[in-house]
Amino acid sequence: MISSLKHLPQAAASDSELSANFTDLAPPLTSRQAAIESARCLYCYDAPCTRACPSEIDVASFIRNIHDENINGAAAGILKANILGGSCARVCPTEILCEDACVRNHYEEKRPVTIGLLQRHALDHASFAAHPFQRAPSTGKTIAVVGAGPAGLSCAHRLAMLGNDVVIYEAREKAGGLNEYGIAKYKLTDNFAQKEVDFLLDIGGIEIIHGQVLGENLQLKDLHAKYDAVFLGLGLAASRQLGLTGEDAPGLMAAVEYIAALRQASDLSALPVPKRAIVIGAGNTAIDMAVQIQRLGAEDVTLVYRRGAEAMSATHHEQDIAKANYVRIKTWAAPDEVLLDDEGRVRGMRFERTRADGDKLIGTGSFLEIQADAVFKAIGQGMDPAALADPLAQQLTRAGDKIRVDAQFRTAVPGVYAGGDCVAPGQDLTVQAVQHGKLAAIAIHNDIQSRLEAA
């Protein structure tokens, strides 16, 4: 039970009925469909889809392999560039990346090759006799990775491939980070995140220690002294605040906390479900929250954003998913007051209508109230201040609440690297986090080897 919502009734439907609402958002292609779709690809020599992929997957090559019925070859090509290619095929916003760049968009058909589904098809149907990548001879070096999310896992796998040993320190009970705890249940089904982690670890040389929280029972200075290098794949664990009185009242909570509870629930019918819900935010997490609470049985779900729809960070595809699930989207309204009942519980929110004055957002002095039994914040995540509280961690150069790194993902502290959502600049995409981890691993390995050669 989620403590902030314990006063709310549990879902009205049974677990089996609710589970039917969380099947694959985009059902996989059949072999026949994959053959037809792969034949649509023009296999461009200078493929714009590959250039648009943050993890540099050779899209044209893997699609040609599918067309030639070389599924293992297609899968190996994908995994060489992106070891978490299976989850990325499911959650990556392909509609604004590789598929948006597809040259088929420029023909009369205006329908790109469904690259994401083809990528999933290749990885779902690969049948490797063993792990497709072998470790290089041992370097005798051991690197600490903090965080078993996409960036940390990608970094660890590439370091292991290069012959290094890796110890991952993870705060939670399961590895996977955002894929395990933060993605809509209908996007990653059938315990896929853990299956992908298990596959990644099969390369060997990677140990994961759970229950390790940087800034609490784990200190950067100790890791720096013990290991040959440290990679920080911290993600953004702290939910931003609205700054309003009543923000801690029962019925108001961070969307990511509810999504995590939903993903880990063994019985969906045990989850508390409001009759009326408000989701504050404009990103994909806000959409995920709104759609999922509706699928759990909420009767009235309103997503509220302080600017216009054109400024929402959620893609048009995600916005269409929300509309298809009867989520009401209210724009040009900024949170102004948490409305509480006589028992101090949330009964709704008051919003001030807004408008744009050039690049500036201003209030109009006009207000509206929306009644709700629960309010979910999806207004972004920040760095947990405690994570970087020790003296060595405080030497890391920051850009706002993120860590500043150079082109090789080196921080201001020699021997300490960082990547994923916790660094600036970044797009907060799973696929970009995977790329950061991969490139950081190569930089770490090369830097260590350079120091050895210099010695």
> Does residue 243 have a pLDDT over 70?
yes
How much of the chain, in percent, has pLDDT values that exceed 90?
Answer: 86
Pairing of strands 238-239, 346-357: unpaired
Token digits for 267?
Answer: 């019985």
What digits encode the pLDDT tens for the residues 157-195?
Answer: 999 999 999 999 999 999 999 999 999 999 999 999 999
- Picking from 362, 380, 398, the residue at the C-terminal end of a domain is 380
Q: What pLDDT is recorded for position 78?
A: 98
Res 438: pLDDT: 98
| Enclosing H/E stretch for 438 | helix 430-454
> Minimum mean pLDDT among 84-93, 99-108, 199-208, 285-294: which range?
99-108
137 falls within a domain: no
Do 359 and 400 have their domain in common? no
Taken in order 5, 6, 8, 14, the sign of the CA dihedral is: positive
User: pLDDT tens, 17-66?
Assistant: 999 999 998 889 999 999 999 999 999 989 999 999 999 999 999 999 99
Q: Give the pLDDT mean for 356-373.
A: 94
Shared domain check, 249 and 337: yes
Whole-number percent of the chain with pLDDT over 70: 99
Does 57 map to a domain?
yes
pLDDT at 75: 98
3-state secondary structure of 346: strand
Q: Do 285 and 372 share a domain, yes or no?
A: yes
Nearest to 24 by CA among 233, 184, 173, 160: 184
pLDDT for 230: 98
Do 322 and 198 lie in one domain? The reply is no
Task: Give the Cα separation of 68 and 172 in Å (integer).
Answer: 42
326 and 412, same domain (yes or no): no
- The amino acid at residue 250 is P
Task: Name the nearest CA neighbour of 285 among 401, 98, 425, 421.
Answer: 421
Q: Are 354 and 361 within 8 A, CB to CB?
A: yes
Q: Does the structure show a pLDDT above 70 at 88? A: yes
Q: Does 46 share its domain with 103?
A: yes
> What CATH number did the domain enclosing 230 receive?
3.50.50.60
Could you tell me if 338 and 396 lie in one domain? no
Q: Is residue 16 in a domain? A: no
Q: What is the pLDDT of residue 109?
A: 80
d(CA 63, CA 40): 10
> Which one has a higher pLDDT value, 385 or 300?
300
Per-residue pLDDT at 105 exceeds 90? no
Type of residue at 265: A
Pick from 25, 35, 362, 40: nearest CA to 184: 25
**Confidence grade of residue 1 (pLDDT, cut at 50, 70, 90):** low
Domain count, the chain: 3
Please tell me whether residues 279 and 356 are part of one structural domain: yes
DSSP-assigned letters across all residues of 222-290: HHHHHSSEEEE-----EEPP---TTTTSTTEEEHHHHHHHHHH-S-GGGSB--SEEEEEESSHHHHHHH
Question: Is 25 within a domain?
Answer: no
- 161 and 175 in one domain? yes
What tens digit of pLDDT does each residue of 401-438 get? 899 999 999 999 999 999 999 997 666 789 999 999 99
The answer to whether position 195 is within a domain reads: yes
By the 8 A CB rule, do 356 and 286 touch? no
- Which of the listed residues 332, 353, 380 is the one where a domain comes to its end? 380
- The H-assigned helical ranges of 29-110 are 31-40, 48-52, 59-67, 71-81, 85-91, 98-101
CA distance 85 to 260: 22
Q: Are 89 and 114 in contact (CB under 8 A)?
A: no
Q: What is the CA radius of gyration of the chain?
A: 23
Strand partners, 333: 353
* Section 286-301 average pLDDT: 97
Mean pLDDT of the chain: 94
CATH code for the domain of 91: 1.10.1060.10
- For 305, the domain range is 239-380
Residue 246 reports pLDDT greater than 60: yes
pLDDT band at 299 (very low <50, low <70, confident <90, very high): very high
Judged by DSSP in three states, 89 sits in: helix
Do residues 278 and 349 lie in contact, with contact meaning Cβ atoms separated by under 8 Å? yes
Among the three residues 96, 125, 154, which one is the final residue of a domain in this structure?
125
Q: What is the pLDDT of residue 320?
A: 94
Spatial separation of the C-alpha atoms in residues 237 and 421, rounded to whole Å: 10
299 in the same domain as 205: no
What confidence tier does 455 reach under pLDDT thresholds 50, 70, 90? low
Asked if the structure places residue 22 within a domain, the reply is no
pLDDT (0 to 100) of residue 110: 83
73 domain-assigned: yes
In a domain, 2, yes or no: no
Same domain, 216 and 257: no
Mark whether 369 and 264 lie in a shared domain.
yes
The angle subtended at Cα 135 by Cα 129 and Cα 138, nearest 5°, is 150
pLDDT surpasses 80 at 327: yes
Structure tokens at 28: 């996989």
